[in-house]
Amino acid sequence: MKGWSGKLLRVDLTRGKCVVEEYPAELAMRFIGGRGFAIKILWNELPPGTDPLSPENLLILAAGPLTGYPIPSSGKLVIASKSPLTGGYGDGNVGTRAAVQLRRCSLDAVIIKGKAPKPSYLLIEDGRCEVRDAGDLWGLDAFKAEDRLLEEHGREAGVLLIGPSGENRVLISTIVSQRGRAGGRPGMGAVMGSKNLKAIVFRGGKEPEAADPGRLRELGREAYRAITEKPNYEFWRRQGTMATIEWCQENSTLPTYNFREGVFDEADGISGTTMEKMVVKQRGCPHCNMICGNIIEDAKGVESELDYENVAMLGSNIGVGDLREVAVLNRMCDELGLDTISTGSAIGFAMEAAERGLLDIDITWGDYKGAKRLLEDIAYRRGEIGGLLSLGVREAAERLGDGAPDFAIHVKGLECSAYDCHLCPGMALSFGTSPIGAHHKDAWVISWEISSGRRAEYIPEKADKVIEFQRIRGGMFECLVTCRLPWIELGFELDWYPRFLEAAAGVSMSLEELLALGDRVYALIRAFWVREYGGRWSRRMDYPPRRWFEEPLTRGPLKGSHLDYDGYDRLLQAYYDKRGWDERGIPTRETFKRLGLEAEARELEGFVELH
């Protein structure tokens, strides 16, 4: 098998044992890699009802058949687990040398279970794997710990690690790499911390073999050139995702004051244009010529890598309009291992709770110093309020009561990423049906929705568009494990990907076949959620936050706008119908059969009746 190494590494931290094993070719053919591998492994191997922070939970790192080859934006891997934040399927992708080095170790995936008896890290080198003592790394921030590991194992090593928040099992912790790359929003850092695992270091010496190396090299060269020739390339290189601040402000979708509003008076202070004047350098993921990490320095010369999501959530969403201050908060999150989106949401939630007299804390909108203190309190679970917010906004709101769930901005327990949807029903559906909770990764339809001229409407075409994007972004890209941004931002054509796959793996699949793969992966992820939630599962799980329906915008050109319950419900039903899911949002028996998931359907029938 070319393209795939055909091997995965199993690590049992409790026993200190590592085993390399071959996996069946059928797994590669039916689930491709990345997210596809992760959900299939979780479905098969994780006992239903497992406590996500127990040793029994699995932490999975999975590359895809394009990872690590010299083709655009292929330096990524998927991190997945049962989420301690949502209780369902959780994953994220991260662009990192670790992805490239994993493949240079002749591995496609790593499955980690158990719990090390003391703080440890994993050293994976070619065919060897060793559990090492991490006593002197535990407690260090993610930057310092990575520096130490690189000093010891060489600068070319790939490192995934957690900061203190992951060690403290803060449920909004991610896994970090290369000073600012992070992935696994739904608490993957807490899962790693619960296993006493500080870091994973990869060092490999063997390039992944390709079916047709000459053709792959040639395609790669052509593809890199095609990207640089795209009309938007130069602008993208200047601003990356940061141009979105101005676009969201113009369109009243910039999350402001805990998603109460879609416009922010100080948006200019945190915009891409402002950032352009401050950038000192840029950083990107391996094998990428789009290099979208823009780095600015704070007043003390400390660097911070910015992108749209973290600036909006740690800026307008909490009322901070100074980009250098946002940069400090962002850097703190990266060092401590906190997810920037969820942290911005938790701080915004706390500011609003304080304003309403529900939380006894001295903090107001735009209070940068208060936000800094709170951020540290969350990472170290310090005090009652730090401890409460470390659970994420859903749980914090439920514990607070007194109307707090009305302004906890999440879907299925995952805090919403940075798009206000008071007047974007299609994007609200995207958040509602995302397979990990409210994240924009799978179906970023907001740009299409606004430019369609039918923004306020609840038309079935919006459900179609969400599914189309989920198949491309959440299915194909997450399974091949390459970055979606060349396609969505620059219009790099999708038909490159079947060609890459053929040259890398010798497998001929049409684009439609690759996209259809996403349907299988989505159905299995949905089955996983239903299995884990059992009788608690309902159609309401696919609803966006109450605020967008019940509290209209009070400012800006869209003042008075809000979502409509009946309209959203119709849209959701159109989505279910198109996917072949029943009125509860569960794939029907027929759909499971069509997708070749009969065995999984039979297992699911032990938990819920299928229609």
Applying CB under 6 A, the residues found at the interface with ligand SF4 are 73, 95, 284-285, 288, 290-292, 483, 485
Nearest to 411 by CA among 431, 395, 396, 391: 431
Tokens at 477, concatenated: 């890209």
Minimum distance from CB of 76 to ligand SF4 (Å)? Answer: 6
Shorter beta-carbon distance to ligand SF4: residue 96 or 258: 96
Shorter beta-carbon distance to ligand SF4: residue 472 or 483: 483
Q: How far is the CB of 181 from ligand SF4 (least distance, A)?
A: 8
DSSP three-state, residue 605: coil
- Give least dist CB 192 to ligand SF4, A: 22
- CB of residue 538 vs ligand SF4: minimum separation in angstroms? 35
DSSP, collapsed to helix, strand or coil, labels residue 137 as coil
Whichever of 95 and 189 has its CB closer to ligand SF4, that residue is 95
> 129: part of which helix (H) or strand (E)?
strand 128-133
Residue 148 tokens, joined: 């130490």
Question: Strand, coil or helix: what is 200?
Answer: strand
Distance between CA atoms of residues 400 and 584, nearest Å? 29
Q: Report the DSSP pairing between strands 7-12 and 17-22.
A: antiparallel
110 φ/ψ angles, rounded to the nearest 5 degrees: -130, 130
Residue with tokens 């158990």: 114
User: Shortest distance, CB of residue 73 to ligand SF4, whole angstroms?
Assistant: 4
Tell me the CA distances in angstroms from 23 to 109, 196, 410, 481, one per residue in order. 10, 27, 37, 18
Would you list the DSSP string of 176-197? EETTTEEE-TTTHHHHHHHTTE
Distance CA(134)–CA(25), nearest Å, equals 36
User: Nearest 10 degrees: CA dihedral of 317, 319, 322, 325?
Assistant: -80
Angle, helix 496-505 to helix 213-228, in steps of 10 degrees:
160
Residue 140 or residue 290: which is nearer to ligand SF4 going by CB?
290
Radius of gyration of the chain (CA): 22
Cα(143)–Cα(572) distance, rounded to whole angstroms?
43
**HSE-CB for 492 with a 13 A CA cutoff:** 27
Q: Which two tokens stand for residue 72?
A: 């655009």
Closest separation between CB of residue 349 and ligand SF4, Å? 28
CB 561 to ligand SF4: min, Å = 32
Report the alpha-carbon distance of residue 310 to residue 334 in Å, rounded. 10
Q: DSSP letters of 253-291?
A: -S-BTTTTBS--TTGGGGSHHHHHTT--EEE--TT-SS-
Minimal distance, residue 285 CB to ligand SF4, in Å: 3
Nearer to ligand SF4, 394 or 441 (CB): 441
CB closer to ligand SF4, 487 vs 581: 487
- Residue 324 has which token pair? 């250098």
Q: Are 432 and 439 in contact (CB under 8 A)?
A: no
Nearer to ligand SF4, 138 or 487 (CB): 487
Minimal distance, residue 162 CB to ligand SF4, in Å? 21
Nearer to ligand SF4, 64 or 95 (CB): 95
Amino acid at residue number 110: V
What pairs with residue 20 in β-bridges?
A: 9
Nearest approach, Cβ of residue 236 and ligand SF4 (Å): 8
**Based on CB atoms, which residue is closest to ligand SF4, 211 or 488?**
488
SS3 152: helix
Report the residue number, 291 or 511, with the smaller CB distance to ligand SF4.
291
AA identity, residue 116: A
Query: What ranges in 434-564 are assigned the alpha helix state H?
Result: 446-451, 460-469, 478-480, 485-490, 496-505, 511-533, 547-550
Nearest approach in angstroms of CB 477 to ligand SF4 is 10
Nearest approach, Cβ of residue 344 and ligand SF4 (Å): 19
Q: Which is nearer to ligand SF4, 61 or 290 (CB)?
A: 290
Nearest CB to ligand SF4, comparing residues 76 and 82 = 76
Q: To the nearest whole angstrom, how small is the minimum distance from the Cβ of residue 178 to ligand SF4?
A: 11
Q: Which helix H or strand E contains 47, and what residues bound it?
A: none
State which residue, 237 or 372, has the beta carbon closest to ligand SF4.
Answer: 237
Closer residue to ligand SF4 (CB): 73 or 83: 73
For residue 471, what is the DSSP state? I
Q: How many CB atoms are located within 10 Å of the residue 554 CB?
A: 10
3-state secondary structure of 123: strand
Q: Whole-number minimum distance, CB 286 to ligand SF4, in Å? A: 8
CB of 485 to ligand SF4, least distance (A): 4
Residue number, 64 or 585, with CB nearest to ligand SF4: 64
**What are the residues facing 437 on neighbouring strands?**
435
Residues 411 and 427: their CA atoms lie apart, in Å, by 13
